Amino acid sequence: MKIYLTILLSIIAMNLQAQNLTGNQWSARKVNTAYIVSLADKSSVLDALTDFVVSQKITAGQIIGIGATNEATLRFFDPTTKEYVDKTYSEQMEISNISGNISVTEGKPLLHLHITLGKSDYTALAGHLLDAKIRGAGEFFIYPLDTKVVKIKNEDVGLNFYDFEK
């Protein structure tokens, strides 16, 4: 009987620590310091996740996710030209992984995300994510850090780098 009471009290405590949230194109549950985030069908991954991190005042952290999309624009950085080359794919694909980080640049949140997409012929695409439209589900875990991380553009390289002095 004692073990059942302990389990019941643990479940009640976990549920009391959980908080449900809703926003523009997303819903979420906060559990302890982490968030479980669901993006609405047909929403922009970047717009919805940026709206989420702004609403929760997250200035540093990690993002991971899975889902499905029918339109994704990937980027590939060319260090010779210091420019990104973009390519859009318009077909139904599985998002087998999105991973990245949250920081701030020029006072605004910056989501640096990479994505791996599975096509219907079981080939995969991967690259830096410019944006994707959810078509089906978009399921994410966000792990904020209790700090602010700033990125500044390094003109010699052409990319944003962490500046821990800011």
Residue 75 lies in a domain: yes
Given a cut of 50, whether residue 148 has pLDDT beyond it is yes
Read off the CATH number of the domain in which 36 is found: 3.30.1330.80
Supply the pLDDT for residue 166: 86
pLDDT tens-place string over residues 49-98: 999 999 999 999 999 999 999 999 999 999 999 999 999 999 999 999 99
Residue 68 lies in a domain: yes
Supply the pLDDT for residue 152: 96
Residue 155 lies in a domain: yes
Residue 141 lies in a domain: yes
Residue 153 lies in a domain: yes
Phi and psi angles of residue 2, each rounded to the nearest 5 degrees, phi first:
-65, -40
The DSSP string of 22-64 is: EETTEEEEEETTEEEEEEPTT-BHHHHHHHHHHHTT--SEEEE
Count how many domains the chain has. 1
Given a cut of 50, whether residue 129 has pLDDT beyond it is yes
Residue 51 lies in a domain: yes
Residue 149 lies in a domain: yes
Average pLDDT over residues 127-131: 98
Residue 10 lies in a domain: no
Percentage, residues of the chain above pLDDT 70: 90
For residue 119, what are the domain limits?
20-163
pTM (2 d.p.)? 0.88
